Structure 1
Amino acid sequence: MIKNFKIITLCGSTRFKDEFMEAQKDLTLSGNIVITVGLFGHSGDEEVWKPGVKEMLDDMHLRKIDLADEIFVINVNGYIGESTKREIAYAKSAGKKVSYLVPIAD
């Protein structure tokens, strides 16, 4: 936590761009520092699919989780893909709180 602001990293499939933007807005207005994805590969950012870029972005996202107090998972209709599952496991192993857009039973 920095001063009185919790740092939250958003995780989830980049196909849910609108939901990412809404969560970013809501969490920011609730007084949080929000870290999110830089590109939406499944929503039209074609640069993601160039050689080596997705791997770099995946590693960078783990570093964003390192910076956070918790992660917020954008799991529209309960969907959690493989990359997001890996990020959740990484966050939990680092002792980070994990919250979900759509509540799930842990």
Structure 2
Amino acid sequence: MSTRPEIVCICGSMQFAEDMRIVSQSLTLAGIIVLMPTEIDRPITDEQKAALGELHLRRIDLADRVMVVNRGEDYGESTLRESAYAEAAGKPVTFVGPAWGWQ
């Protein structure tokens, strides 16, 4: 019987969506299940934004570890909240991006 593949949740600003896709592809090819935010290409309400934020916390709940994708700029409020949530839940958090090297 095979074991369950590792599950990684990707976090980061949607301004780095292309970087998140690169990391996701690399992880997927390595046999890892990837959970990450979905790009929404239309305006959303404040209620929808809050609901999407909560949905992403549930992705973190499902993950074995969290990867924060960033280009070295300051982290936004949502990314800081997500990484703090993951750490409080005992999930390992790592940071990737051009400054740290890709996965």
TM-score, normalised relative to structure 1 = 0.83
Question: 2-side partners of 1:53 and 1:46: how far apart?
Answer: 12
TM-score, normalised relative to structure 2 = 0.85
> Post-superposition shift, 1:4?
4.0
Residue of structure 1 in register with 2:69 after alignment: 74
- Could you say what the CA RMSD is over the residues aligned between the two structures, in angstroms? 1.7
Residue of structure 2 in register with 1:39 after alignment: 39
> Post-superposition shift, 1:23?
0.6
Question: Deviation per CA, 1:30-78, whole angstroms, max 9, x where unpaired?
Answer: 12100011225xxxx224x324110010000000000000000011124
Runs of 4+ in 1 over 3 A off after TM superposition: none
The number of residue pairs the alignment matches comes to 97
In structure 2, relative to structure 1, the CA distance for the partners of 1:51 and 1:82 (3 Å cut) is closer
The answer to whether the Cα contact below 8 Å between 2:67 and 2:96 also exists between their aligned partners in 1 is: yes
